A = this chain, B = another copy of it.
Amino acid sequence: MTTLTLKNCRPLAGPATDLHITDGLFTETAAPGAEVVDCGGRILIPGLIEAHTHLDKSLLGLPWYRNEVGPRLIDKITNEREVKVSLGLDPQVQSERHAILAMSHGCTHIRSHVDVDTHHGLAGIEGVMATREKLAGMIDIEIVAFPQSGQMTRPGTAELMDEALAMGAELVGGIDPCGMERDPKGHLDTIFGLAAKHGKPIDIHLHERDALGWFSMEEIIARTEALGMQGMVSISHAFCLGAVDRAQVEVLHRKLAENRIHILTTAPASAPVPVVKELKAHGILTGAGCDGIRDTWGPWGNSDMLEKAAHIGMRNNLRRDDEVELALEICTRGGAAILGIEGYGLEIGCAADCVLVEGETLAEAVAIHAPRKLALKGGRVIARDGACVIEAP
């Protein structure tokens, strides 16, 4: 049923109308015999975009994992690498569970970082690729080859990254060039080299704060400019843009905008975060993600990008309706633009990837993030009343 009519819906909280879907696209008129779905006057938004997560490592569906991990970043990375073995984590099964949870909330596209390391090789990439194939037509998954455990510190990783990209990973990932890799030049030259070799974009994790993060960001910007990679680089987390010294941050904002570098925020409550209103003012494309959910790093997260919009709102102290709408824009059009999704939106000719949400206004839809009435991918129902139409393994 990718041919149907959504009767009495309110696109982006506008006036109630009927929208027609033919062969998965929004069309001017109804196809003969199209099924009619009564939307009860609910708001329709385009599909939610999960633009930063880790599909290969959630513990969804497993017995509760009692977290007794140490406080440092490296404690969490080391523990995870080992626990994946002791728990016998299957990246295919875990990514399928995770993607189905995202679909239940009306997510239609995911960008997932997937671990590549000398311990697990390409098992994560293979597992997520299998899930991507299995769920084709119900959710789109983009894969970032991600050297979570470091590539400078673990020889052989760069070669595996190269292989992952040849296999079909769409983006080159990276991680804290100073804080984690201790060799910013080596790390950044390697990942930009891989990007150039494969003609693929970059999405790099940058948790480094304040001046350390500014330094790494300057180095990322310099390479983006030198290699003419404007529009092809995203920086995830970018905690250093949440620094107290706004004058320093302002300089970086200008350089990021000039080089069309995108920012992906996970809006954690416990770390400094990019200020989304400032990014918007600079015209810097901004998307968002739930980051890892229910994994060995911590118990939080449920893959709901409408709740994430609320978290972005609360974290950025957004209160006015226009501000809350910005949070929603980040979780929809912002992420879609960064992922380069063609035909995204509710206009005629766009793919019918959309979600019926509860609430009188867009701000209310975000604030309450109630279970979604209906979610469609290419006109096909993927979720109803908060539940995905397919069962998790």
Residues of chain B within 8 A (CB-CB) of A300 are 310, 313-314, 319, 367
B315 and A269 contact, CB distance less than 8 A: yes
0/1 string, A220-264, CB within 8 A of B gives 1: 000000000000000000000000000000000000000000000
B68 and A320 contact, CB distance less than 8 A: yes
B315 and A64 contact, CB distance less than 8 A: no
A324 within 8 Å of B (CB atoms): yes
A63 within 8 Å of B (CB atoms): yes
Considering only CB atoms, which chain B residue lies closest to A302 in the complex? B368
How long is the Cα–Cα vector from A267 to B269 in the complex, in angstroms?
9
How long is the Cα–Cα vector from A52 to B349 in the complex, in angstroms?
50
How long is the Cα–Cα vector from A235 to B351 in the complex, in angstroms?
53
Contact residues of A: prevailing secondary structure: loop
B319 and A297 contact, CB distance less than 8 A: yes
Considering only CB atoms, which chain B residue lies closest to A359 in the complex? B64
- How many chain-A residues does the 8 Å CB contact rule pick out? 37
Interface positions of A from 286 to 311, Cβ below 8 Å from B: 294, 297-300, 302, 310-311
How long is the Cα–Cα vector from A262 to B152 in the complex, in angstroms?
49
0/1 string, A317-341, CB within 8 A of B gives 1: 1011110100000000000000000
B63 and A320 contact, CB distance less than 8 A: no
B66 and A361 contact, CB distance less than 8 A: yes
A364 and B315 contact, CB distance less than 8 A: no
Considering only CB atoms, which chain B residue lies closest to A324 in the complex? B299
Considering only CB atoms, which chain B residue lies closest to A362 in the complex? B64
Considering only CB atoms, which chain B residue lies closest to A298 in the complex? B319
How long is the Cα–Cα vector from A294 to B316 in the complex, in angstroms?
17
How long is the Cα–Cα vector from A69 to B323 in the complex, in angstroms?
11
| Interface residue ranges, A against B (CB under 8 Å) | 63-64, 66-69, 267-271, 294, 297-300, 302, 310-311, 313-317, 319-322, 324, 359-361, 363-364, 366-368
